[in-house]
Structure 1
């Protein structure tokens, strides 16, 4: 009689790929976190953030966590606290605290909507617009330096792989939301 499958292993097994076959790149008995894709991506993101922060840090200027909302406001991706929180993947409480700091630096202001008093719009000040204009220059500089030694073909291939990883991560998240009774 065959042994029953180990439920812990079955739960950890990835779903089959498009060809129906699952490849087990990682094995619990030989797992090395430092060599995992997630760990390396997290380290790259952290180090990238530190490099951006060091280039963006003028005295009194926006910090690394503050430049993303400034840039999203500047690009028109959001106009309210709730929209900006969604765009920056923060909860509204954290976004409110971040906006408090940006407002204290004179980089943005909150303005009540005239059509709906419950809505608070966020506007950049002249100083905020100037700070936001610097963001793409710094991001391009840091990311180009990060890609030192890559050929244009390798860069395109890397972006292709990262998009596939993102698609897979979004599919995993969607399955989790579908199975989460709290999200229904």
Structure 2
């Protein structure tokens, strides 16, 4: 170590600003704050928006499949889906083959909302102050981190 290089202070690894988890957590909080007014214009909360993204990508999934995509528990997803159904955006039906399985299908109104939601990504890009390429790299890095964390469990 040369004279210009300072050794980290003892306990530096426990400083809040040195925590990757806090950087992710605080960024996530701010990201959802940026999304909030955009999604309010669509009549959606952030968790509802995520569920709709899954269904816009592939309609007719089971509650369990949607839950897998969102990395959440199916039981916590049910109230959210009930609210979306009450808003007329989707329809839940029991499978004819297995009544324990609930299928989720978009309604015409839910499909039409997809067009309105097209305005959200450009607003998020603008708010980020980043290029599309930089955000894509960040997403790849985060997905790699998520995969590694999943493997550690």
Separation in 1, partners of 2:93, 2:130: 47
Contact 2:84 2:90 in 1 (8 A): yes
Check 1:48–1:73 CA distance in 2 against 1; reply closer, same or farther (3 A cut): same
* Partner of residue 40 from structure 1, selected from 11, 23, 29: 23
- Does the 8 Å contact 2:59/2:105 carry over to 1? no
TM-score where L is the length of structure 1: 0.65
Matched, 1:53 2:36: yes
Q: Which runs of 4+ in 1 moved over 6 A?
A: none
Residue number in structure 1 paired with 2:126: 145
Q: Does 1:109 align with 2:91?
A: yes
Aligned residues: 145
- Greater Cα shift, 115-124 or 99-108: 115-124
Structure 2 stretches lacking a partner, 5+ long: 1-7
Deviations 1:28-54 (A, max 9, x none): 722212331111111111111121121
> Take 2:71 and 2:132, find their aligned partners in 1: how far apart are those partners?
32
Query: What is the alpha-carbon distance in structure 2 between the residues aligned to residue 29 and residue 121 of structure 1?
Result: 51
Q: 1:75 to 1:150 in 2, by over 3 A?
A: closer
Q: Is the 8 A contact 1:78 1:84 kept in 2?
A: no
Backbone CA RMSD of aligned residues: 2.8
Instruction: Point out the structure with max Rg over C-alpha.
Output: 1
CA distance 1:119–1:158, change in 2 (3 Å)? closer
Structure 1 gaps of 5+ residues are 1-25, 177-184
1:171 corresponds to which residue?
151
C-alpha separation in 1, matches of 2:53 and 2:26:
23
Structure with more contact order per residue of length (Cα contacts < 8 Å, sep ≥ 6): 2
Q: TM-score, normalised by structure 2?
A: 0.77
